Structure 1
Amino acid sequence: MTTNIIDIDELAERLDTAQHTVSDTASLADSHDIDINDAYRIQNAVLARRLGRGELPAGIKLGFTSKAKMAQMGVSEVIVGQLTDAMRIADSTDVDLSRFIHPKIEPEVAYRVARDVDLDDPRVDIEACVDAVAPAMEIIDSRYRDFRFTYTDVVADNTSAAAFVIGPWQPLHDVANRAVRLEVGSDAVTGSTAAILGHPVRALHALHDIARRRRIPLRAGYVVLAGAATAALPLTGGVATCEITGLGRISVRGVR
């Protein structure tokens, strides 16, 4: 049975503890009636704990950028999570899987913010604030037991953000409808960058709108992960490789 009494700090501590002790937790919605505003407040409180331990802000990630995923979750708006430097993994290196509960990996398009974005200036052209694009992969790791969660659960859990890898940056150019292939061991999935809101650049505009409303900073040097271009694959070990036509190839190797 749910209750309307929300202790933001207590719920943030619960999710933060699940992350850094690598132990799952029950859906918050099992015991609390959380709306989207509460969810973003919890997310910010989780981030504050990470920053308090010395991590630094590194960027933003978008979720629910697939129409199919929106329909599955019964929502019409993308969601965002916040990245830190501790989540970044270098291309072609090992990643310790013991730091995750049940990791999955997905291919992404990454953008680089070139200058601070004034969220209060209606004249800002978000595309003009970005100077580079790169292939990327994100490791997602929901902290919820048995992958049971609601829309607001996901937002509170920082949209399952766990780690990310960025390939070589290229000058900003059009990456519409580029072929994408993700391989993890013997498993593979293919798709297109068109799965990201029809065109990855639309993710920048969606992000700008949410950042303005939610007062989420967009600073020079930030990475923006525009959203998954295919379904995610479990990352249980071995090499994960992402190749995007015209952007290049990146990889990581999961080890325990």
Structure 2
Amino acid sequence: MDTTPTATSTDIEAAAAALARAEADVVGIAPLTFTCPGLTVDEAYRIQRVNINARVTSGERITGRKIGLTSSAMQQQLGVDQPDFGAVTDALEVADGSLLDPAQFIRPRLEPEFAVEIGHDLGPAPTEAEVRDAVSAVGLAFEVIDSRIADWKITLPDTVADNASLARVVWGSFRPATGELLASLPDAVITMYRDDSQVAQGPGAAVLGDPVASVHWLACALGSRGDTLRAGDRVLSGAVDAAVDFTPGSDWHAASPGFATVRLTSTVPDTDH
């Protein structure tokens, strides 16, 4: 007989509250899989939803989604074996070219990604062809990831509960999607630079073989949990290489031929206060 503990509604609410406090206090907590033994991925998505619903209730608006752990580099870096997803709200978006202080986060890392915009609503179980047809624009983006779990000691349920470790999103400029552009994405390479030194590089093929395939995975994963992609949603398709520590005092940019460069500057914390 299976004696694995099952998370109660009280456990779900407590875990969500602990993650929210950790983010607000900028202090990592113990893995949820330690404090709530037997936590499943399904239960972790319930925890994630509690905090996303709280954000929406407080006035934030869901603007898109992020797909995580799509590349073998990221799966190896974090010790997991399948993708996950989280929600992007307007409060988590940072304008292209902005200044961002790493001290706002616990242990932030930066990832370069292809991002897409959805042109029309999708159903809960679309085909990949239907997803491809729904993509109206493509661009580059930065994702700042951070774990509210101390020292990134996470399992898949830990990061799922933590909104897939999302911290901030920087959308670059998008260009209209064409069949030719979408077909070229697996071979398109993004290179990320810190102060003009290359720190990461990878092709779209690193993202489940094709960024569009990654978005298809997301559409089906959302559908299985009672949600869908909607017109206007923007989606981070996944990192093309392992994440890089988001250190202060640097200029960052990510480039790929045919796309507008996306930029971000990490400010040096004010030590006078």
TM-score by length of 2: 0.87
Structure 1 residues 249 and 58 mapped into 2: Cα distance closer, same or farther (>3 Å)? Answer: same
State the aligned residue count.
Answer: 254
Question: What are the ranges of 5 or more consecutive residues in structure 1 without an aligned counterpart?
Answer: none
In 1, Cα distance between the equivalents of 2:69 and 2:125? 25
1:62 match: secondary structure:
strand
Alignment of 1:176-215 (within 5 A): 176-185=186-195, 186=197, 188-215=199-226
Alignment of 1:135-174 (within 5 A): 135-172=140-177, 173-174=181-182
- Per-residue deviation at 1:54? 1.5
In 1, Cα distance between the equivalents of 2:172 and 2:191? 15
- 1:43 aligned residue: 48
Question: What are the ranges of 5 or more consecutive residues in structure 2 without an aligned counterpart?
Answer: none
Q: What is the letter of the counterpart of residue 34 of structure 2?
A: D
- 1:31 aligned residue: 35
In 2, Cα distance between the equivalents of 1:5 and 1:178? 43
Deviation track 1:14-73 (CA, whole Å, cap 9, x = no partner) reads: 111111221111100112120111010000011112222211101011011113544673
Alignment of 1:15-26 (within 5 A): 15-26=19-30
- 1:73 aligned residue: 79
| Cα root mean square deviation, aligned | 2.0
Q: What is the letter of the counterpart of residue 242 of structure 1?
A: A
- Per-residue deviation at 1:120? 6.2
1:125 match: secondary structure:
helix
Asked whether the 8 Å contact 2:97–2:262 carries over to 1, the reply is yes
Deviation track 1:91-136 (CA, whole Å, cap 9, x = no partner) reads: 1111132321111101000000112223267798122222000011
Is 2:226 the partner of 1:222? no
Q: Percent identity?
A: 32
In 2, Cα distance between the equivalents of 1:104 and 1:150? 17
Alignment partner of 1:232 out of 243, 265, 269? 243
Asked whether the 8 Å contact 2:139–2:174 carries over to 1, the reply is yes
Q: What is the letter of the counterpart of residue 15 of structure 1?
A: L
Asked whether the 8 Å contact 1:89–1:164 carries over to 2, the reply is yes
Asked whether the 8 Å contact 2:73–2:242 carries over to 1, the reply is no
In 2, Cα distance between the equivalents of 1:59 and 1:188? 27
Asked whether the 8 Å contact 2:73–2:241 carries over to 1, the reply is no
Alignment partner of 1:241 out of 246, 253, 262? 253
In 1, Cα distance between the equivalents of 2:145 and 2:157? 16
In 1, Cα distance between the equivalents of 2:169 and 2:108? 12
Deviates more, 1:176-185 or 1:113-122: 113-122
